Structure 1
């Protein structure tokens, strides 16, 4: 039994969970709402629909879908004791973590791809006069899938590092609140705190530095990563984005940050899981 075997078994189990699919139904409803809104416009804007999905769907629905799909992937089996049976087979703890990641990421990816397909059909029916740029739509979908993967990785890492369902749930909720709501959307977030502290200390800073701080969360990196998706004329809508040429606020660097959110939580979770006595 290896990583793929673990992933196949887990995928078959989790795909039946209605709670996993519920957030994606909400994502489709948001998508339909944005298309319907543009259907009343004399000049429907395809980019506005995608930006609405990135802002509302990306900040709320995607993280919830990924966390719900993966936060119990290992902690649930540890609490029930079934993880001991799985580890009695020729499979390592690292295989378990990576297998869970593949399975939960596959479920979220399938749900998102279905949502994008529904959105395409809805666009044709609700806004027949709107021009859909499929290269932009495809780039948006790829970036959204990477963003979702980062949250799945975080959830699997939390699940691997915790020993019970309640702790895994607390960790997932805490991460969502701190690195999504507080970090990017509350006026007391790290960006405003850093701005206040640097100003009080008399230290000069650039808007690019504040933009980097905003982008250090998965959601911030996703939103600023939209520089890679939308044309220059649309970037005016991205109020979080500076015009700096510094490398750490460029679109490609947002992919590096998202990759970090995939690798680091998994590494920490795998390390903690590996050193835990399962009894």
Structure 2
């Protein structure tokens, strides 16, 4: 077998997981709700406002879709012992990790694409200027964001030998990089550590950059400056180079590659006996 064969078999398993489809449908419902609310409450509805609100909601929901879809991809089979069968066909351990990543990537991406297709159709129906190019750019950016959490989940799953450990590590990662990031404590913690304890006297912008390195969610939110115009809503008119959208894209790509590589490295050295 190969990476593609592993992915094909894994897709047959993951498509039966109802929780995966539930969270995907939930995101599509949020898309529908936010597009509807904007056009029904504003005399001059703007797609940009609807997508801005969707960014805030998606920043929380998208990681849940990704983590729920992928965190048991390998750890579940290691705990049940079925991983030995998969590797005996034969497949390399790299085939397993990459095959699982391909499958979970396809499922998560499909749920996001469906949600954005629904949003585009409703925007064409309800808005005087649906701005389809903005929808397309936000869809691509959101898929990249989702895949960072898929990579993290696969990396965690490949590094752990049980469902409980994979779940615990995924919840902890989500709490630190998403909940604490979105609601402020992560930024306050970085400020306290860097300025109060270490006396570095770094600026707010530098703190936000450090937060973006720690949190894919922060990098995603900051990268939306590539889509929305300068000065829109809370987007500053000018930003230093290290907070520009292009820099945030580099960080997101790093979050896509590094956890997957580390998970593969751990899995190749794991004792599956």
TM, length-normalised to structure 2:
0.93
* Residue of structure 1 equivalent to 2:170: 172
Tell me, yes or no, if the aligned pair for 2:71 and 2:166 is still in contact at 8 Å.
yes
Give the Cα–Cα distance (whole angstroms) in 1 for the partners of residues 83 and 46 of structure 2: 50
Partner in structure 2 of residue 188 of structure 1: 185
Q: Give structure 2 stretches of 5+ with no counterpart.
A: none
Q: Secondary structure at the match of 2:185?
A: coil
Secondary structure of residue in 2 paired with 1:130: coil
**TM-superposed deviation, 1:198:** 4.5
Matched, 1:42 2:43: yes
1:1-49 alpha-carbon deviations (Å, 9 max, x no partner): 1111111111122122111011111111111111121122101011111
| Equivalent position SS for 1:237 | coil
Cα shift at 1:109: 0.7
Specify every segment of 5 or more residues in structure 1 that has no aligned partner in the other structure, as ranges. none
Please say if residues 211 and 242 of structure 1, whose CA atoms lie closer than 8 Å, have aligned partners that are also in contact.
no
Structure-2 residue corresponding to 1:93: 93
Structure 1 pair 163/207, CA: closer, same or farther in 2 (3 Å)? same
Residues 155-170 of structure 1: pairs in structure 2 closer than 5 A: 155-170=153-168
Deviations 1:133-187 (A, max 9, x none): 11111110000000011000000000000001111111111110011111x1234
Aligned pair partner of 2:272 in 250, 272, 278: 278
Change (3 A) 1:186 1:242: farther
Q: What does 1:127-276 align with in structure 2 at a 5 Å threshold? A: 127=126, 129-182=127-180, 184-189=181-186, 191-200=187-196, 203-216=200-213, 217-234=215-232, 236-238=233-235, 243-245=238-240, 247-276=241-270
Q: Which runs of 4+ in 1 moved over 6 A?
A: none
Coordinate RMSD, CA, aligned: 1.6
Aligned length: 270
Q: TM-score, normalised by structure 1?
A: 0.92
Cα separation, 1, equivalents of 2:154 and 2:253: 15
Using a 3 Å threshold, how does the CA distance of structure 1 residues 95 and 202 change in structure 2: closer, same or farther? closer
